[in-house]
Amino acid sequence: MSDSSVKYIVYAPSFTADSGGTIFLHELVHALNTLGEQAYLWPMKPIFRQRFHNRIFNRIFPPPFQCNPQLDTPVARRSDIDEKTIVVYPEIVPGNPLQARHVARWLLYKPGERHPYEFTEGELFFRAFEKADLPELTGGAPELFLWKINRIYRNENRPDRSGVCYLLRKGAYKERIPETEVPGAICIDDLGPAEINDIFNRCEVFYSYDEATMYSQYAAICGCLSIVVPGEHASREEWAAQHDLYRYGVAYGIEDAGHALATRDKVLGMLEEKEKAGLDTVRSFIALTKERFAR
């Protein structure tokens, strides 16, 4: 039975369907409430340096905090923070801005790889996937993931596919390959889900410079040959060992295209299994946080 005196507050940006990390944070609040806990969102303040004009504009006209109306994600008040509240921060948030007594740190991406990190004493760590962990610091963080399939992505079986699309995101630092520099190649970085689904159903090949994005699976679901541009790992085996969702339907380098094509029909089923398993990791999260903090 749930301990009604314990509250969870998840420090998160406004909801957007374009950010996997943001989706995870909002979905965690929803899952906790679904399982009978008390959970809330807390609007995350900008944590990266903004240009002066942007900073002034946002201070005068703060953008509204967006929630997904399909999720049970109430927004917390200051009075919701007490000595029993457990605050969940993603790895990009430095320190403990809410000055919470109990902190759980969710590693959604490997700390230090893209942004500096600053953790506080006594935090309880969780990881979204193996590569996100810092075992020398965490001692081996338990898994917490909430992969959700965006059903807008589907194979429409259109005839006469042609052309190339690609994604940069966390792989923007990589040297461009010739295949994405051809005339007509479409970069999907700043596009919305409906437009991306249309592109995935028109194009023959999708290249991702980002080695850990759901768009690789969505491209495969839509019928694209989905290829990750290598760079962070020495081999497909090393890469796949740290990215469980890439067992099927995605190639690590052009030479791995055969594997991607041969296993593409397994991607959707694998994601559906992972979606179901996510709720079990939330149950484990509840047990571990209460064991540590709710005494």
pLDDT in tens, 145-196: 998 888 999 999 998 999 999 999 989 999 999 999 999 999 999 999 999 9
Residue 22 CA to its chain's centroid (Å): 6
Closest CA to 10 of 68, 107, 75: 75
Counting other chains too, the contacts that 177-183 makes at CB distance below 8 Å and 24 or more residues apart are 177/207, 177/229, 179/205, 179/207, 179/254, 180/207
Phi-psi region of 34 (alpha: psi -120 to 50; beta: other; left: phi over 0): alpha
- List the Cα angle 234/224/253 in 5-degree steps: 15
pLDDT grade for 1, boundaries at 50, 70 and 90: very low
- pLDDT beyond 80 at 212: yes
Closest CA to 75 of 147, 20, 26: 26
Give the pLDDT confidence of 226-271 residue by residue, as tens digits: 999 998 888 888 888 877 778 899 999 999 999 999 999 999 999 9
- pLDDT beyond 80 at 59: no
Average pLDDT over residues 29-50: 86
Q: Buried b vs exposed e over 132-171: b needs ≥16 C-beta within 10 Å?
A: bbbeeebeebebbbbbbeeeebebeeeeebeebbbbbbbb
Output the pLDDT for position 114.
76
What integer best gives the mean pLDDT of the chain?
Answer: 90
Q: In a 10 Å sphere around its CB, with 0-12 CB exposed, 13-18 middle and 19+ buried, how is residue 33 labelled?
A: middle
pTM listed for this prediction: 0.76
pLDDT grade for 281, boundaries at 50, 70 and 90: very high
Q: What is the 3-state secondary structure (H, E, C) of 60-124?
A: HCCCCCCCCCCCCCCECCHHHCCCCCEEEEECCCCCCCCCCCEEEEEECCCCCCCCCCCCCCCCE
Q: Which amino acid, 2?
A: S
Q: What are the residues facing 225 on neighbouring strands?
A: 205
153 against 131, higher pLDDT: 153
**Neighbouring C-alpha atoms within 13 Å toward the C-beta of 123:** 26
